[in-house]
Amino acid sequence: MFAMGKHKKDKKKTNNRVAFLIQKPGVLFRPNNMKVDDLKQRLEERGIQSRNLNKKDLVKRMNEWIKNEQRRNNIDVSSLSSLPLNVTNITPLALCGCGDDLMFLSDLQSNTIKRVTIENNGAILKGTVVTVMSLEQGALPYGISVSGNKLYIADSRDRGGLIQFDLSNGNSNIVVENLSTECQRIHSVAVTIGGDVVFTDREAKKIKKFCNGTVTEIAGSGSDLSQDGSSKSASFLQPTATCIEGNTMYVCDTAVGRVCVISPTSSLSSYLEQNDVICKTFGIHLRGTPPEVVNITQALDKLRGVSSWLNSWERQTRESLGRTGAVQGPQGIASSKSISSVNIITNSLQSLKETIEYVNSSYLANLRLASLLTLVVEHLFSKMRSRNPTPTVLEYAYLFGPTMKENVKQLTKCGFHYFTARSSFYELPEKNCLSIGEIPSIPQLPLKLMPPADQRILCDWRDNYGQSVPQVTVRNQSTKDNVGTLPLYSYTQPAPTPQPLTFMTSDSLETSNANDSTDPSTAVVLFQCQTALVVKPSLVAGLSCLHVCNSSSPFYLGVVTSTILQNELESHLSNIDIYLPSENDIFIFSRSCTVDVAKEAVALVLELIVPVGEKEIVLTEEVFESATALLNGEKDARAENGDQHDLFNHAAEMSDEDVDEMEETVCVDTIAFCTSRRGRLIRRPLRLDL
């Protein structure tokens, strides 16, 4: 995953960068999971001896190489890290991926579109930048996307719009203009699998699609609120970034800090159609609409079609996700229990048909499938269990006659209303209604006396074996004591307060450029040219490959090759000549190389101007001991104060406002710290006069 923008860690500012975070295993080398032959080959390619080594030693050497590579490039793959690029001074504004090793980004500073090729050496990622397109001065490319050999750029300025760039021949043109009836102001762009271009209209507060020269609206009502709904009723306050994954679209509503998901409803419509087939098969209908009469043969055909559709849906979902186990609702499919329930209903209906045909096949013509609904069946069972929730076989046989007679009352004409409500969920008979007196009654068996001994045996048997486990039914699981999931309104949260962001426009960009072109004489000078600096060896990158003659020296010397102005956005000092200590004399430092040094690596500033081209710098014993004492005192102060040393900034990072706010000085050993009115600890610049 790649990102852009600002990142602050340990008081170190890093701006205008492309950052990455590894989310999948296997991107970089994992020595513990590699085979011996593969380890030897990788080590030999990097010039590391691997002969006559077992796997443990091979893994150790590979891990050491990986750590050295990551340490040399200041990369921590476990967190968000900057992607090293072969160019500097870029301001990435938008990016999009194209495969595993290629991406495009827009550079606000140079008004260009750049192609970045990702190189992976197994330990770190690096990017090689090549410019592929130049934009007009003042362009605001907030969005970029690629499809085949077409590159689409979302330019938010007044004269911008949706730009289409052909990577094969270099031709570009604006296909959708801003401040027009088709688009008020574009912000971001993405391309679907089918090649349609989707973009966000920030000022119109809508999501639109460009296809074959025509712009159509996808979602958004244009109202000033953020709410979910259908494509016409949903609304956004400030739709900005967008991306597409499969058939699902993600839109960032910046004003309220939400990420909205836009998904098609075709799958949901197909699922509801299958539910409608099941409902109509068993006579479930809307109030006032006559039910659909279906015989048992037709019902079986419809249920088999629904079961086949669900099984096909489950198989396709499992294949697309690469799963072998069951898939559930979170995977965008009906639960496995629901699919099994449809199969159970189909098998039960087939068994019922075979049973009725075995008794008398003519009975199938009078079978109403509505009588098989759970509501009707549970009503019969509730009557059967009215006296005993777990009746024995004897009790079931005894209660069968009265229970059936009670349930038959709703199908006959009697002198009373069986249901108290005038409108009931139980259907009334439409024809062939019988009088309750015409219903034959089951004759009762004559009473017989049972000896007391037999009664005791039956009672003992019932106490030992007649208490069955209570059965759970739909009716007793839908009472007020078993509420299950709470209503949706119980989980709703108050809408956040809208806080729209103010994005850069053409006017603000021109003002910013004018401010950047201020007279350099008015800027604050941080270090004069040829100034000598005391540099901490542990914080200087790029010196691991150099041979240090005297490794016991506590510091290096650095010389500024050109005047450096104070800039809080810069974290490094460019082009610093590094002088390393001599092997024979610790007071002599010889020029070695030129590197970029982090600001936090500068410990002291020497009041010394080194001549241009000087190869050696000789320090006096007093200056060397003073610098060493100050460095050691700083270490002791940090050890005593723990993590408090992370709050001490170098004088180069100290603003004029902080200097004016200094009220008191607190001495910690030989290092002076100042406390501002805001309570921040600031270190005064330490200087040694030669």
CA separation for the pair 535, 541 (Å, rounded): 11
Burial of 417 (0-12, 13-18, 19+ CB in 10 A): exposed
Residue 8 sits at φ, ψ, to 5 deg, of -125, 125
Check residue 478 and give its pLDDT. 53
Task: Provide the pLDDT for residue 3.
Answer: 58
- Listed residue (634, 621, 654, 624) closest to 532, CA to CA: 624
Instruction: Express the helix, strand and coil content of the chain in percent, nearest 5 each.
Output: 30, 25, 40
- 503 class by beta-carbon count within 10 Å (0-12 exposed, 13-18 middle, 19+ buried): middle
Predicted pLDDT at 13: 42
CB 664 within 8 A of CB 630: no
State the pLDDT at residue 490: 62
**pLDDT at position 512:** 52
* Cα–Cα distance, 247 to 188 (Å, whole number): 18
Q: Which two tokens stand for residue 616?
A: 């050696």
CATH dotted code for 138-261: 2.120.10.30
pLDDT at residue number 507 = 53
Q: How high is the pLDDT of residue 166?
A: 92
pLDDT below 70 — which residues of the chain?
A: 1-15, 76-79, 375-376, 379, 409-436, 438-439, 466-492, 504-523, 539-552, 568-569, 634-690
pLDDT at site 514: 53
Q: Where are the domains of the chain?
A: 138-261, 266-325+342-359, 373-437+473-479, 522-689
CA atoms within 13 A on the CB side of 63: 11
Question: What DSSP string runs through 423-457?
Answer: S-SSPPP-SS-EEGGGSPPPPPPPP----HHHHHH
Q: Give the pLDDT of residue 12.
A: 40
CA distances from 511 to 91, 141, 216, 517, 519 (A): 17, 18, 35, 10, 15
- How far apart, in whole angstroms, are the C-alpha atoms of residue 621 and residue 537? 20
